[in-house]
Structure 1
Amino acid sequence: MQQRLRRTVAAVALAVAAVLGAGGWAAGTQQAVTGPPPGSAAWVADTTLGIRLPDPATAAPAEVAAFFAALPPARRDALAVRHPLVVGNLDGAPVPLRYRANALALAEERGHQLARAADPALTPRDRTAARERAERYRGLLDGGRQILAFDPRGRGQAAEVFGDLTAAPRTAVVVPGSDIDLLSFDRAADPYGTPAGMARALYEATGRGTAVVAWAGYTTPVGLGPDAATEDLARAGARRLDRLLDGLAVTTRPEAPATVFCHSYGSVVCGLAAPGPARASGLVVLGSPGMGVDSAADLDPRVPLWATARNGSDWIGNVPHVSVLGLGHGADPTGPGFGARPLPATGSHGHTGYFAPGTASLAAFAAVALGR
């Protein structure tokens, strides 16, 4: 008994030391954005069409899809114009309609931020933050980008599609890890460390034969600290990921559900979501601190699981794979006893280099995404 207690204390101490040694505990914690999209109350109360609109808080994506399928195009468009933040984030709504709604929502929110940036009643810091947001929204509006989701609440969330989501024979979803939000969704300085950069690289590596969704649709941890070492944000993210996958299943090809690529803390989100075969064709984890489960046997056995080898310069290798008193994310998915299928990582560097062109990991990701 004493020996077991000593091992437990040692494991906790090791986990804490690893976090502290990698940069220290981040101050404060993040509040997860949950629940229906902003504007849902006005949407539910809208009776202009003479029919009851599906409640975003309770309607399943299949119900949403059936509702829009019964509406003529003019009525769909009218709803997108009146309620862009709801329609743009409503899983199960027609994909082209969501793109249009999100473009409207981004333009509207950009106007709000520009007004804040010019408001002399705000502090200089708040005006600067408003200008940054407005510029971010402008960037998402440029060049015909296909924005599948946009939520300005908190640090902001977004999802972008590369390829033709409604026509592609196969679909993939990239789930990112810590420090990703609306402002860091797509960074030129670290192109393969962002969900948009990862998705773009995968789309090109498949010969543009797969539609890829860059999904920054949950509240991620910031820095290394309590949020990154625990599963609270991952649980909230898992529920949102489940709904996204349900929505894709009814708006794309149900016979070929998405392959989900889970980076870093995102692999905890994927492990807790544990999607079944109706939601996912496979799971791929990379740079993983663990999946919140003891082994692949704790996931749905009908959904293949691949684990990417960890390159020697990935700092995640210094994080102990333990789960003690709510701290840590459990067993190493790359370990021989975990039960995942191995993927190579030759040529990759660092924690965010697995999607870099020319790496063995990206070539393997493309093969998996194409169903090979």
Structure 2
Amino acid sequence: MRRYARTLVAFALATSVVTGTAGWVSTDAQQALTGPPPGSTQWRADRALGAELPDPERSTPGEVASFFAGLSSAERQLLVLRHPSVVGNLDGAPLELRYRANSLALIAADDSRYRSLAAPGRQILAFDPRGRGLVTEVFGDLRAAERVSVVVPGSDNDAGSFDRKVAAHGAPAGMARTLRTEAGPETAVVAWVGYTTPVGVGLDAATGTLAEAGAGRLTRFAEGLTADGLPEPAMFCHSYGSVVCGIAAPRLPATDLVVLGSPGMRADDVGALRTKARVWAAKDPTDWIDDVPNVRFAGLGHGADPADPAFGARRVPADEARGHAGYFAPGTDSLRTFAAIARGDAERAATAGAEGARALEGAAR
């Protein structure tokens, strides 16, 4: 009888996930984009260099980096010209080659949705036009940066919406751009739309299927950065992107995991993430995500609230942010703290969070 009662309670909580997110706003189930980059079949068959090329699916980013390190400049450029879609998405390949390869791939795509991405001066580190499209862009000088950050967005983001102008600081490119501006010229920030995100607030958003696929892609991407000689990044994970980061955490090379507007990380607390990274959490008082029940049952929901003190994450003040997409708005306490973390000044960021909490408590009295 006791077990039956617990089952009924858990079922009620799972049902509340549906009602707590204003119902299933979208039932547009998405198929996660997995596997190697487009053009991999032709790449595998190519013997232009007199030997097999590293398998895009099975080779580690470290193996890819070692392969390119052994090529001459002419051999590298030959591969860029023959296989731009593979080189442009190959984690571990030198970023300078990836920029050029993706520029060629965008021109070849000849798609009006991506015309702005092909503009001169943009640093596109990955581009895959399949499905809704995936894209990754760098802001700042990634090769020279002392500190690197990666923005991992949530639902409704893809290559077609990457450059949207409405609420620009809430879109992936806008988040990365404002963070880099605030953090300063010695940093670089990457906007990573490298996984298939949910559309709307529906079953995809309430389950971990897309996040599990995205976690593997995020881990490989971060490993590719370090294999190319770049610093371990700080991860800024928004909304459903925090689910991706939570699943990836045990194997993700990162200095910091910063989650904002999170529905949960599929972990009960910081210890359960099994990460060496510092873990931070932000949630502003007007964010609708606070209405989402923090439960996990029968595959629904993402568990404990990372912004709850019991979770054990460091606090990021967010009293000046507004709504679910306002954390990177210029002039906010959340953006100032994010910038301190991005610069590697974690102690100052922690102090800012503690001072903000004390000020809030004082105001309440």
* TM-score higher than 0.5: yes
What does 1:48-127 align with in structure 2 at a 5 Å threshold? 48-110=48-110
- The C-alpha deviation readout for 1:293-320, integer Å capped at 9, x for no partner, is 1111111342110001x22221111100
* Match in the other structure for 1:290: 264
Cα offset for 1:150? 0.1
CA distance in structure 2 between the aligned counterparts of 1:238 and 1:226, rounded to whole angstroms? 18
- From 3, 18, 40, the counterpart of 2:20: 18
* Match in the other structure for 2:353: none
**2:109 alignment partner AA:** E
Please tell me whether residue 227 in structure 1 is matched to residue 204 in structure 2.
Answer: yes
- The C-alpha deviation readout for 1:327-361, integer Å capped at 9, x for no partner, is 00000001111010111012111100000110000
- SS for the counterpart of 1:164 is coil
- From 205, 217, 240, the counterpart of 1:265: 240
Cα offset for 1:275? 4.4
- From 282, 302, 318, the counterpart of 2:291: 318
Please tell me whether residue 307 in structure 1 is matched to residue 284 in structure 2.
Answer: no
* Match in the other structure for 2:148: 171
Cα offset for 1:30? 0.2
Cα offset for 1:27? 2.4
* Match in the other structure for 1:356: 329
* Match in the other structure for 1:181: 158
- SS for the counterpart of 2:107 is helix
CA distance in structure 1 between the aligned counterparts of 2:73 and 2:264, rounded to whole angstroms? 45
- SS for the counterpart of 2:119 is helix
* Match in the other structure for 1:126: none
CA distance in structure 1 between the aligned counterparts of 2:339 and 2:100, rounded to whole angstroms? 29
- The C-alpha deviation readout for 1:101-151, integer Å capped at 9, x for no partner, is 0000000011xxxxxxxxxxxxxxxxxxxxxxx223220011310000000
CA distance in structure 1 between the aligned counterparts of 2:25 and 2:178, rounded to whole angstroms? 32
- The C-alpha deviation readout for 1:153-202, integer Å capped at 9, x for no partner, is 00000000001111111100000000000111121112111111000011
RMSD of aligned alpha carbons: 1.2
- SS for the counterpart of 1:36 is coil
Structure 1 residues 154 and 315, CA gap change in structure 2 (3 angstroms): same
- The C-alpha deviation readout for 1:186-230, integer Å capped at 9, x for no partner, is 211121111110000111001122111100000000001110000
- Greater than 4 Å deviation, 4+ residue runs: none
Cα offset for 1:287? 0.4
CA distance in structure 2 between the aligned counterparts of 1:100 and 1:295, rounded to whole angstroms? 42
- From 346, 349, 358, the counterpart of 2:319: 346
**2:7 alignment partner AA:** L
**1:325 alignment partner AA:** A
Identity over aligned pairs, percent:
57
* Match in the other structure for 1:27: 27
- SS for the counterpart of 2:62 is helix
Please, which runs of 5 or more residues in structure 2 have no aligned partner? 346-365
CA distance in structure 2 between the aligned counterparts of 1:348 and 1:366, rounded to whole angstroms? 15
CA distance in structure 2 between the aligned counterparts of 1:237 and 1:157, rounded to whole angstroms? 11
Structure 1 residues 301 and 101, CA gap change in structure 2 (3 angstroms): closer
TM-score of the superposed pair, with normalisation by structure 1? 0.90
**Higher deviation after alignment, 215-224 or 179-188:** 179-188
* Match in the other structure for 2:187: 210
**2:206 alignment partner AA:** A
Q: Contact 2:133–2:158 at 8 Å: present in 1 too?
A: yes
CA distance in structure 2 between the aligned counterparts of 1:196 and 1:327, rounded to whole angstroms? 30
* Match in the other structure for 1:123: none
* Match in the other structure for 2:351: none
**Higher deviation after alignment, 294-303 or 192-201:** 294-303
- SS for the counterpart of 2:311 is coil
TM-score of the superposed pair, with normalisation by structure 2? 0.92
Q: Contact 2:249–2:275 at 8 Å: present in 1 too?
A: no
CA distance in structure 1 between the aligned counterparts of 2:205 and 2:275, rounded to whole angstroms? 27
Q: Contact 2:114–2:160 at 8 Å: present in 1 too?
A: no
- SS for the counterpart of 2:80 is helix
